[in-house]
Structures are given as C-alpha cells and as structure tokens.
Amino acid sequence: MTPDLVVFDCDGVLVDTEGPMFEVFAKSITDHGLAVTPHQLATEFTGGTTPIMRDEAIRRGAILPEGWVEEMNTQIHARIAQGVAVFEGVLDLITALEDAGVPIYVASNGTMKRMGLSLGPSGIWDRLEGRILSRETYLAKPDPAMILHAIAQTGARPEKSFMIDDSVPGCRAGINAGVQTIGFATEGQDVRLADVGATVVNTMAAARQLILG
C-alpha cells in the first residue's frame, strides 16, 4: 500500500536529541533546588514543552529564575549544534517515500531554530523545507492541528496517512487526527505508547514495513 501522507515527529524520531536535551534540563533544575535525573524528566515530559516542565518543576520546589525557558533554549541549541545522530533507517525511509511520491511533513513541539540545528547537517531540513511545522505556529501536540494542516495541504485521507512519534502527546495527536499512529519506542516507553492506541515499533525499519509493506 502506498500511503497518502507520512508525518514525522522530530526529536526522538528523526534525530536522537532527547537524551542531550534532558541532560541540560536535569542539570539546571537540580542546580535550582530540585534533584532530578535526565531519565525522570524524559519519562514525564517527552513530547511536552519547556514551559510545562518549568511550571511543574516550580510546583515541586525548584526555584527557577525569570527567563529560564529562554536560557534553556539557548543552552539546548548550543548542545545540539555540537551534533546529534540521525536514527538508523530514517534517511532510507525518507528516500523511499520520496521515490513513491508520498508527501512528508514534520510536526514538532520543538522550535524551528532547534530543528534547523538538528536536521540541517543530515540534509533533512533542506529536503523537507516548507513542510516542517512547529508549536510556535500551531497548537502543540496532543492537539492534532499540525497533522490536520498537513492533511489539508495534501488532500490526504486520514485513514491512509501515518504519524510517527515517540511520545504520548504526539501519539495522542495522531489518534486525535484519525491517522494510523506509530509509536517509535527506543527509550522503554512501549507500554505507554501502546496504551494510547499506537502501534509500537522499536526500529525505523519496522516502521517502514508498516508504512510501505
């Protein structure tokens, strides 16, 4: 089956940025009075936004300064600029979809600047220019706004379209949009994504099999 549309999340699906980002977050929150580990933050906040994390950290006792979100963005951009890995199989899948004439979009709760830094070196940013969507312009996932925009732009049938995401909010966005939703689990989040209703895979090769057969 040739799908009508495939929408990828960015962090944790196209590029392995989640680990480095949560290391930055955990160090800062710990330094400001609330001891946390990168794994704890990843378990709770993968797919969320920095303001949501800030508010919850403050509720639990962290004393975060005004402008903390902006400072985190600066530190994370600097870390990602040092280089992050593209997940194995991603470039092959993108090429296969392009060869089949399948429209590809990216829908991320991250910032455009961060995606430019993480997707630029591999060429993904240039290949998908104009089809990379951010919560800076659209409502953040789990709202399906970004996916619905991609559907509207391409005329895709939801039941013939796919969303690939590594987070609960992202998979919920796919379910809410009525598309086939693949949970990409590389950090032990299999059960959480399955509970949302996603079909869980652990490799991009397995995702490709589901999408292209």
What does the H/E/C string look like for the chain? Answer: CCCCEEEECCECCCECCHHHHHHHHHHHHHHCCCCCCHHHHHHHHCCCCHHHHHHHHHHCCCCCCCCHHHHHHHHHHHHHHCCCCECCCHHHHHHHHHHCCCCEEEEECCCHHHHHHHHCCCCHHHHCCCCEEECCCCCCCCCCHHHHHHHHHHCCCHHHEEEEECCHHHHHHHHHHCCEEEEECCCCCHHHHHHHCCEEECCHHHHHHHHHC
Spatial separation of the C-alpha atoms in residues 80 and 103, rounded to whole Å: 27
Are 32 and 105 within one domain?
A: no
Domain that holds residue 54: 18-81
Note the pLDDT of residue 43: 85
Q: In the structure encoding, which two tokens stand for residue 9, read together?
A: 């999340």
CATH number of the domain encompassing residue 66: 1.10.150
Place of tokens 């590389």: 186
Spatial separation of the C-alpha atoms in residues 121 and 62, rounded to whole Å: 35
Single residue among 81, 102, 118 that ends a domain in this structure:
81
Note the pLDDT of residue 44: 87
Place of tokens 């985190």: 72
Spatial separation of the C-alpha atoms in residues 205 and 213, rounded to whole Å: 11
Are 68 and 91 within one domain?
A: no
Are 195 and 127 within one domain?
A: yes
Note the pLDDT of residue 168: 94
Are 117 and 92 within one domain?
A: yes
Are 72 and 117 within one domain?
A: no
Are 204 and 173 within one domain?
A: yes
Residues 6+ away with beta carbon under 8 Å from 85: 15, 16
Are 165 and 61 within one domain?
A: no
Tally of domains within the chain: 2
Are 194 and 113 within one domain?
A: yes
The pTM of this model reads: 0.86
Best CA proximity match to 68, nearest among 33, 18, 16: 33
> What does the pLDDT profile of the chain (213 residues) look like in tens digits?
799 999 999 999 999 988 898 999 999 999 999 999 998 998 888 877 899 999 999 999 999 999 999 999 899 999 988 889 999 999 999 999 999 999 999 999 988 999 999 999 999 999 999 999 999 999 999 999 999 999 999 999 999 999 999 999 999 999 999 999 999 999 889 999 999 999 999 999 999 999 999
Q: In the structure encoding, which two tokens stand for residue 182, read together?
A: 């693949």
Single residue among 56, 81, 106 that ends a domain in this structure:
81
Best CA proximity match to 190, nearest among 202, 180, 179: 202
Q: In the structure encoding, which two tokens stand for residue 6, read together?
A: 């495939």
- Do 7 and 161 form a contact (C-beta atoms < 8 A)? yes
Single residue among 39, 66, 81 that ends a domain in this structure:
81
Are 112 and 53 within one domain?
A: no
CATH number of the domain encompassing residue 9: 3.40.50.1000
- Do 152 and 158 form a contact (C-beta atoms < 8 A)? no
Note the pLDDT of residue 187: 86
**CA angle 123-188-75, nearest 5°?**
50
